[in-house]
């Protein structure tokens, strides 16, 4: 299971998986990879909880094992 992570580290890891962004989109930012759009929370300087990271990974189709190895 992923750990709590800072917003900057989350963005860096998603870029390693080939996502572009983050882009502004209403209430939430989002990152894009081909046709896939993944919403990214605005953490306001706080770490993103491991539960929310798991939900984002599920939305992106990234397994916990892939995430830990990236």
pLDDT of residue 45: 77
> 6 in helix, strand or coil?
coil
User: Quick check: 43 pLDDT over 80?
Assistant: no
User: Quick check: 1 pLDDT over 80?
Assistant: no
**How much is the pTM?**
0.87
For 7-69, CATH number out of 3.30.1490.20, 3.40.50.300, 3.30.920.30, 3.20.20.70 equals 3.30.920.30
Report cis status (omega within 30 of 0) of the bond before 22: yes
Strand pairing partners for 40? 29
Helices (H), the chain: 7-16, 50-60, 64-69
Give me the residue label for tokens 């491991």.
50
pLDDT of residue 42: 83
């Amino acid at each position: 299971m992923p750990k709590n992570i800072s917003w900057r580290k989350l963005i860096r890891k998603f870029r390693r998986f080939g996502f572009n962004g983050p882009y502004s989109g209403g209430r939430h930012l989002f990152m894009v990879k081909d046709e896939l759009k993944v919403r990214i929370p605005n953490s306001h300087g706080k770490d993103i909880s491991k539960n929310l990271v798991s939900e984002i990974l599920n939305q992106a189709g990234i397994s916990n094992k892939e995430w830990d190895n990236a």
